[in-house]
């Protein structure tokens, strides 16, 4: 994992530098956990959708897009520890996030919703605008079903696979430690009820 070098370092050196082993490990695990939680929340959202449709007297008048987050895992390279075969935190050398490949050669990679705003990022004329609207609706489902605790944002990917999400929740959770990274913008979380615009999905699924 890389970060930008601070401006006052040697201008001849590369603009980016790799994190220290310990920081790289912590940040990579955080990224992987974001995907893990996002997958779980999206699964929870589809459970709500499927349960509602099963009990509804009529079929929904629109398609339900089928999206999920990429599968991912963390690979840790340990230094050889002399005299023991047991790997531990101090022997961590490098950490890698392994993510399912998104086929961007055959499918457009798009940002559907930004983490700074709860509205579709695509114009209504865009062929995948319906996906962006559907994802706005999933934010409303998550916010409502978790009693206003959390929703997913920074939603990007193709029409079937998403990656690199942001968990939006109150920054006060976990005693002010921003366990979900810097993209969890407290102001945006607070403003969600005003920012979100209910669409046909919200209406049909009778979200309050």
CB of 131 to Zn ion, least distance (A): 16
What CA dihedral angle connects 171, 172, 178 and 184, to 10 degrees? Answer: -10
Task: Say how many residues touch Zn ion, by CB under 5 A.
Answer: 3
Instruction: Decide if residue 174 touches Zn ion (CB under 5 A).
Output: no
| Tokens found for residue 28 | 């990579």
Quickly list H helices, the chain: 21-55, 129-145, 186-195, 200-204
Q: Is 202 a binder of Zn ion (CB under 5 A)?
A: yes
Count the neighbouring beta carbons within 10 Å of the beta carbon of residue 47. Answer: 12
Please state the closest distance from residue 50 (CB atom) to Zn ion, in A.
Answer: 18
Least separation in angstroms between residue 74's CB and Zn ion is 35
Q: Which listed range, 49-57, 77-85, 111-119, 200-208, lies at the site for Zn ion (CB under 5 A)?
A: 200-208
Q: Cα separation of 190 and 148, whole Å?
A: 10
Q: How far is CA 119 from the centre of its chain?
A: 16
- State which residue, 73 or 193, has the beta carbon closest to Zn ion: 193
Rounded Cα gap, residues 124 and 113, in angstroms: 13
Concatenate the DSSP letters of all residues of 126-153 into one string.
Answer: STTHHHHHHHHHHHHHHHHHTTSSEEEE
Given a contact cutoff of 8 angstroms between Cβ atoms, the answer to whether 124 and 188 are in contact is no
> 150 vs 202, which CB is nearer to Zn ion?
202
Query: What is the C-alpha separation between 129 and 9, in angstroms, rounded?
Result: 44
119 binds Zn ion (CB under 5 A): no
Nearer to Zn ion, 180 or 205 (CB): 205
Q: Which stretch binds Zn ion (CB under 5 A): 54-62, 81-89, 134-142, 177-185?
A: 134-142
> Which residue's CB comes closest to Zn ion?
202
Judged by CB, which is closer to Zn ion: 91, or 195? Answer: 195
Among 41, 122, 140, 169, indicate the residue that binds Zn ion (CB under 5 A): 140
Region of 5-13, 79-87, 98-106, 136-144 interacting with Zn ion (CB under 5 A) = 136-144
Q: How many CB atoms sit inside 10 A of residue 139's CB?
A: 22
- Stretch touching Zn ion by CB under 5 A, among 55-63, 109-117, 158-166, 190-198: 190-198
- Of residues 25-84, those binding Zn ion (CB under 5 A): none
Instruction: List contacts with Zn ion (CB under 5 A).
Output: 140, 198, 202
């Amino acid at each position: 994992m890389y970060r930008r070098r601070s401006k006052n370092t040697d201008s001849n050196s590369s603009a980016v530098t790799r994190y220290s082993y310990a920081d790289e490990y912590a940040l990579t695990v955080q990224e992987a956990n974001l995907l893990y939680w996002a997958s779980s929340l999206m699964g929870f959202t589809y459970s709500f959708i499927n349960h509602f449709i099963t009990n509804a007297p009529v079929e929904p008048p629109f398609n339900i897009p089928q999206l999920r987050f990429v599968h991912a895992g963390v690979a840790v390279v340990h230094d050889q520890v002399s005299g023991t075969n047991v790997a531990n935190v101090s022997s961590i050398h490098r950490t890698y996030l392994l993510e399912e490949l998104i086929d961007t050669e055959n499918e457009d990679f798009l940002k559907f919703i930004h983490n700074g705003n709860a509205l579709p990022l695509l114009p209504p004329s865009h062929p995948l605008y319906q996906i962006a609207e559907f994802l706005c609706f999933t934010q409303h489902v998550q916010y409502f079903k978790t009693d206003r605790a959390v929703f997913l944002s920074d939603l990007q990917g193709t029409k079937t696979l998403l990656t690199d999400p942001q968990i939006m929740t109150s920054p006060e959770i976990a005693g002010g430690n921003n366990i979900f990274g810097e993209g969890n913008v407290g102001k945006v979380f607070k403003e969600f009820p005003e920012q979100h615009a209910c669409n046909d999905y919200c209406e049909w699924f009778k979200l309050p």
